């Protein structure tokens, strides 16, 4: 019995030995056997993701359209590295130095003069909408 652990006790050691016997010996079945039953399938036609109805199932969060999500995503990429809270002049300088398109820089120039807490705050001020809290 020198290979038994004295941390668990004899009863638990025997139980662990039984559970792992198949893995050690290789010949006995274990609870880790391959699943061999085929998965059920549906006779229903799957939804066509390219159909017009796909717009109703888009992955936009509540409170935002797909265009809002794309705009906010582009804004976030453009403002990557900005330290918040930030004022509009910091956002404009960062975007211009990062090679942002002139239209995007001009859009940032329209921001009211205040501190912005994060990209979502900037995006909301620019009219991209704000994601509603999900529970």
| pLDDT (tens digit per residue) in 95-128 | 999 888 888 889 999 999 999 999 888 988 988 7
77 pLDDT above the threshold of 80: yes
b/e sequence 50-80, b meaning 16+ C-beta within 10 Å? eeeeeeeeeebeeebeeebbebbeebeebbe
User: Residue 54 — very low, low, confident or very high, per pLDDT cuts 50/70/90?
Assistant: very low
Q: Which residue has the higher pLDDT, 17 or 58?
A: 17
Alpha carbon separation from 72 to 24, 46, 76, 121 (Å, rounded)? 55, 31, 6, 10
Alpha carbon separation from 74 to 21, 32, 46, 100, 117 (Å, rounded)? 56, 46, 32, 10, 18
* pLDDT at residue 93, rounded to an integer: 93
Place of tokens 């050691």: 13
**pTM of the predicted protein model:** 0.51
Residues 28-54 have a mean pLDDT of 55
Q: Determine the longest span between alpha carbons in the chain, in angstroms.
A: 79
* pLDDT at residue 60, rounded to an integer: 65
> How far is residue 25's CA from residue 12's CA, in Å, rounded to a whole number?
20
């Amino acid at each position: 019995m020198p290979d038994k652990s004295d941390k668990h006790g004899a009863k638990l050691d025997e139980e662990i030995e039984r559970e792992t016997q198949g893995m050690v010996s290789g010949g006995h079945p274990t609870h880790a056997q391959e699943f061999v039953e085929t998965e059920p399938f549906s006779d229903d036609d799957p939804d066509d993701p390219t159909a017009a109805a796909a717009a109703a199932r888009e992955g936009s969060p509540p409170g935002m359209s797909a265009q809002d999500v794309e705009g906010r995503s582009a804004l976030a990429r453009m403002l990557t590295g900005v330290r918040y809270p930030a004022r509009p002049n910091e956002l404009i300088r960062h975007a211009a130095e990062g090679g942002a398109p002139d239209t995007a820089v001009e859009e940032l120039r329209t921001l009211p003069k205040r501190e912005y807490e994060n990209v979502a705050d900037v995006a909301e001020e620019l009219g991209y909408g704000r994601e509603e809290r999900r529970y």
